[in-house]
Amino acid sequence: MGSHCLQLHVLSETFAICRLPNDELMPGWAVAGRFYSITRTDDELSIVCPETNVPQSVTCERGWRCMKVDGPMDFSLTGVLSSLAGPLADAKVSIFALSTYDTDYLLVRAADLGDATAVLRRNGHEVRAEGT
């Protein structure tokens, strides 16, 4: 996959990555908005959602921007995340990755968005703002 150009677009919102106790009931604020992700494990309830939804009392990391890989992508494709994560890791840009049935999403700190976009473009990917 490394030789293929992936097309990504940056979602307009700023997101928070939250951690709640694993037995916490699903909070209503977590599912407000057009993009959110919820994962429950034996250890935690992890929520990614617009940061404006998150109460101040919630343990979270705020200030993340999200890049969506244009999809849908076939399950037979390999190396999609590594073609994005590798160059970003080399550039010391931390990521939080999410995958859905159709595609992948990369969250980077808002302060790193410009660097992340430049790195991905230098590595043959197309990155554009949402709606363009």
**The pair of three-digit structure tokens given for residue 40, joined into one six-digit string:** 């429950």
Tell me what pLDDT residue 79 has.
Answer: 73
Q: How confident is the model at residue 2 (pLDDT cuts 50, 70, 90)?
A: very low
Confidence bin at 1 (pLDDT 50/70/90)? very low
Asked if 49 and 33 count as a contact pair (C-beta separation under 8 A), the reply is yes
Q: Exposed/middle/buried for 54, CB within 10 Å: 0-12, 13-18, 19+? A: buried
Answering whether pTM is above 0.85, one says yes
pLDDT in tens, 34-50: 999 999 999 999 999 99
Fold exhibited by the domain 7-129? VC0802-like (3.30.2130)
State residue 127's pLDDT score. 97
Q: Which amino acid does the sequence have at 113? A: L
Q: CA 79 to CA 46: how far, in whole Å?
A: 25
In the chain, DSSP assigns E strands to 7-20, 37-40, 45-50, 60-69, 95-99, 104-109, 126-129
Read off the pLDDT of residues 71-123 as tens digits, 9 standing for 90 and up.
877 776 677 888 999 999 999 999 999 999 999 999 999 999 999 999 999 99
What residue segments make up the domains of the chain, in order of their start?
7-129
Any idea which residue has 């992890």 for tokens? 46
Considering the chain, what is the average pLDDT of its residues? 92
What per-residue confidence (pLDDT) applies to 86?
94
Of 119, 127, 114, nearest to 89 by C-alpha is: 119
CB 21 within 8 A of CB 44: yes
pLDDT of residue 132: 63
Per-residue model confidence (pLDDT) at position 112: 98
Paired tokens of 129: 């703002």
Handedness of CA 11, 16, 21, 26 (dihedral sign): negative
Give me the pLDDT at residue 130, please. 75
